[in-house]
Structure 1
Amino acid sequence: MSRIGFIGLGVMGTPMAAHLAGAGHEVSGFDLNAEALAKLTAAGGQAAADVADAVGDAEVVITMLPDHPQVAQVVLAPGGILDHVRPATLLVDMSTIRPETSIEVAKAGADKGIRVLDAPVSGGQAGAEQAALSIMAGGDAADFLAAKPVFDVLGTTVVHVGPHGAGQVVKAANQLVVGGIYGLVAEAIVLLEASGVDAATGLDVLAGGLAGSRILELKRTSMVAREFRPGFRIDLHHKDMGIALAAARQSGVALPMTGLVAQLVAAARARGHGSLDHSALLKVVEELSGRSLQEA
């Protein structure tokens, strides 16, 4: 069992830290939200007073933060994680951020003798709560093997995908595919309903054929019912699509479908749907088609 410092106890981080504590790891967590700290304590972890308190004695440090500015602040800034952990500590950033920030963190860690992995996750809040996340890790293979017992507590698909930053690139690819499928399912619903066909029945057929997907499996019923309770918010997917487009520009490739999906996500956010589940792309497609909106 490891001593784990866990920074970032949001809707994903709280259940992840709780699973680690439940598996017997000694987990010391920190977040600015007192309620999140109380949940970790109830799950068997310890509430740290600050970042330094959480990570000072840790063998493994996990960060689960909203975006690259928060990661840079918590990890790289004076008084941050790298100023308080011991040499040879394994720092695992499980946030979804820009690949270049992950590479910057890895270089800064190496300068201080800290091992670093970028290991973003897919599966949303439900995956975190069910310990069924997909984890895509970038960094040294030996460090991945050292972290794998921790990853295995949190996820069912755990893969080393390449060097530093590779985890973030794979996550960007994941998000562009997920966004694209949501957009197409939304269009299918609009087409079916506008044609007088029962959308629920039509999607049942699609889910059993070549068009079948995990999204159709999990979300077709709630989408037809216009239930958009957030499992993964539009606001976060908007951020992720920006990461995908920036990665494409840096790599010198054209991703036209990704650009279109990014605009649909941006439109959903601009229409005030940022706090809804990303399946709420249906609301944007309905509006483009002149269909009356059905509120969640």
Structure 2
Amino acid sequence: MKYTYPFILFCVILLFACNSKKKPVAAGKPAATAQELPPELHTELYGNWVGDFVSITDGAPDYEDVARINIRLSRITAEGVEGRSVVKGNARPMKGTLALAGNTYSFVMDEPGSDRHDGRFEFSIVGDTLKGRWKAYKATAVTHPVKEFTLVKKPFLYSANLMLPEDWEYVDYENGRTQTELYTNEDGTVDTSINNVYRAASEEVYKLNGSANELTEKQLKNLKKLDLEIIRNTIFARHGYSFKSKGVRQFFDQVDWYVPVTNTIDGALTEVEQKNVTLLKRFEKYAQDNYDTFGR
């Protein structure tokens, strides 16, 4: 094949231009690397520390106001500590510092401050116990601005087979009513008796499992409203949902397997659980409860 001189000249120029775009790499020059993160320390402390969050009134514990709290430690470096508090339906990030003296790990952790319930946690870990105090940033914004807690490490593990204890009394002491009764004395006089009455759940709350099995209308149609509420909320409790309502928390805060880890369960429920929640809510709408007297 015969090539013309202009064509050959064009090819030479094009080859030179392509080669000129290639930049030589200096010998021995290392490639750019990502900025290294500080090494993590004391990772054995990571995880959920769970127990009672007790209000302090006039310098003494007020056991009428107790909730289960989870202090989760997720990152510890020489630069600081990161974690999260989960209690009463609130899940708040927190950051702080760690000081080590002997076998005592002392933490000061601050929540963001953008919520009226935010405050500062000061606590120590010795062995397998975390103990400390929380103070609200705005003492006048909350009913109980000081809390104390003693926690132990507890892993969270979802299981569809977790059930409520069978030997417990499931009485709704948080939503009682007063009931007035008239009675006639032997002498014919009439007196008035005023009693506190409460609704109580049946044994079905620890027999029916809304996570492992698809419930039927036949199983639910004769249940009391409280039964239906507890069975539904047990589904949420298995996923570590932190309940805001004290009326719900009273049934779960002392359950050994219950670990509050989140204030949202969006996308967490299985298909069976979603169907059961829908069915339970439908029956709750029309169910009734009986009220009776119960000792506390």
Q: Which has the larger radius of gyration?
A: 2
Q: Normalization by structure 2: what TM-score? A: 0.22
Pick the structure with more strand per residue: 2
